[in-house]
Amino acid sequence: MSIIGITARQIFDSRGTPTVEVDVTTKLGVFRASVPSGISTGIYEAHELRDGEEAYLGKGVQKAVRNVNHVLGLKLMGMQPVRQHDIDETMIKLDGTENKKKYGANAILGISLALSKAGARELNLPLYTYYAELAGNMNTQTFELPVPAFNVINGGAHADNSLAFQEFMIMPIGASSFSEAMRMGTETYQHLKVIIKKKYGGGATNVGDEGGFAPNLKSAEEGLDLLVSAIEKAGYTGKVKIAIDAAASEFYENGKYNLDWKIPGSSGKLLSSSELASVYEEYVNKYPIVSIEDPFSQDDWEAYEGFCSKLGKKIQIVGDDLLVTNTNRISEAVRRKACNALLLKVNQIGTISEAIAAAKMAAENHWTVMMSHRSGETEDTTIADLAVGIGTNQIKAGSLARSERLAKYNQLLRIEEELGQNAKYAGPSFPYQ
C-alpha cells in the first residue's frame, strides 16, 4: 500500500498547550499519532517548532502543521509506509538542519509515529511486533514487559513546591509480572496519599503535571522518607525500589548547583559537582535507591565520569539532558564512561528510526534503557508498544493518576494479556537490585 494522504492539525496536550497530531492515510485506513512536549528540556534536543505569536502565548504549532500539510506530506505521497527508515531519512534530508529546526521535530515526529502504525497495519502485525522487526530483533515470539517507574512525588519544574529534584519514583522490581507491578505501584501510591494527607493536610495531595503528589516538602530526604514509609505500609519493602530524576540542569548556574533554587528570597544552598555527588551517595547508602537520572548538568561531563566510576556498579545512572536520545552524544558518553543508562524520548530526536538506533547503541554497550514520556502528554500510547518491541527494560510514563499517563500503562496491560505465556517481566533481570 502507498500513502494517499497526510494531514496534521493542532490539538492540545495534558497542560492545555498546543501540540501536533498527524493522520497518515492508506487504503487500509487512517493512522493517527500525536506528539508530546517537555517543559524541562535539554539544550541539545531536536527543535520543537512553535509559532512565537500572540495566540496561545507563543506556543501555537500552526507553522509545524503547515509544514506537514504543505511540504513534508506532499513530498511523501505515494511512498510505502513499511519503508520507515527510508521515509524518516527523507524527512531528515528535506529538513537539512542538524536539529530539525527548519520544519520542526514535532512535525517530523508526528508523521514518523503515524507512519509506523500504518506500516504495522499493512503487515498485519501488532505495533510492538512491528517495532521489534524494525529494530532487527530476531525473536518476535517472546517479549519483555518493562519495569514501570511511577513518578509519585513531583518537584523541580513540574510542581510548585520547594523540591529541587524533579521526580521521585517507585519501581516494583520485585514483581513477577507487569500486572503485579501495577498492583504494587497503585497500592503504594494510595498508601502514600494517606500518609501525605495525614501529615500535610488535604491540599498536599494535589498532583503535579505527571500525576505525582506535590506537597511542599523542604528537602529530598523528607520525600524519600515518605516513600520508604509508603512502601512499608503497602507491604513491599525490598520489592519496590526508589528512583530519582534530579533534572540538575534546571538548578545549575555558574559552575554550582543551587538546591534552594525554588525558594523565593533564598541566598541559595550552592554545591560543587563533587559536593552534590556526595549528597547522592549519602542518599544511596541510606535509602533503597536503584536509579538516579540527570544527577548533573547536561555539560558537566567530568562530574558524570567521576560519579559513574564511583557508583556505576551499584546504581543506574541515567542520561537524559546529557544524551537527548542522540547517538553522537551516546557515543561520547560511552567513550567517557559517563553513565550506564539511556532515557529514550522520541521527541528529543524526532523520528522512530533514530530512536531505535539510539536504543540499539545503548544496548550494544551493555547499558540499560528507560523509555520515557514527556510532562506534556497526550492520550497516544505509542511508547508502550515501542518499549515492548525494542526491548527497553523500563518505562516511565508518569504517576498512577491522570489518564494520559495511565493510558500507557493500560496499553502495557493489554499487551501482556495478548502475549500470555510469551510475556516476561523485566524486574528479575534488572541489574541494580
Q: Catalytic residues, which ones?
A: 210, 345
CA nearest neighbour of 302 among 331, 282, 332, 269:
332
Tell me the CA distances in angstroms from 421 to 141, 144, 145, 251, 284, one per residue in order.
Answer: 10, 11, 12, 46, 36
CA nearest neighbour of 29 among 131, 130, 123, 121:
121
Q: Which three cell numbers stand for residue 210?
A: 505527571
Cβ atoms within 10 Å, residue 92: 18
- Decide if 123 contacts 140 (C-beta within 8 A): no
Q: Does residue 414 come out as left (phi exceeding 0), alpha (psi in the -120 to 50 range) or beta? A: alpha
* The one-letter amino acid at 262: K
| Residue 344: strand pairing partners | 371
| 3-state secondary structure at position 24 | strand
Distance CA 395, CA 345 (A): 10
Helix runs in 365-402, H state only? 382-390
Please measure the distance between the N-terminal and C-terminal CA atoms of the chain and give it in whole angstroms.
Answer: 47
Q: Which three cell numbers stand for residue 345?
A: 524520548
HSE, CB side, 13 Å, CA atoms: give it for residue 183.
10
* The one-letter amino acid at 244: I
Residues 6+ apart with CB under 8 A from 93: none
SS3 per-residue string spanning 30-86: EEEEECCECCCCCCCCCCCCCCCCCHHHHCCCHHHHHHHHHHHHHHHCCCCCCCHHH
Distance CA 162, CA 239 (A): 29
- Decide if 37 contacts 48 (C-beta within 8 A): yes
Residue with cell 524494525: 134
- Decide if 293 contacts 245 (C-beta within 8 A): yes
Distance CA 350, CA 356 (A): 11
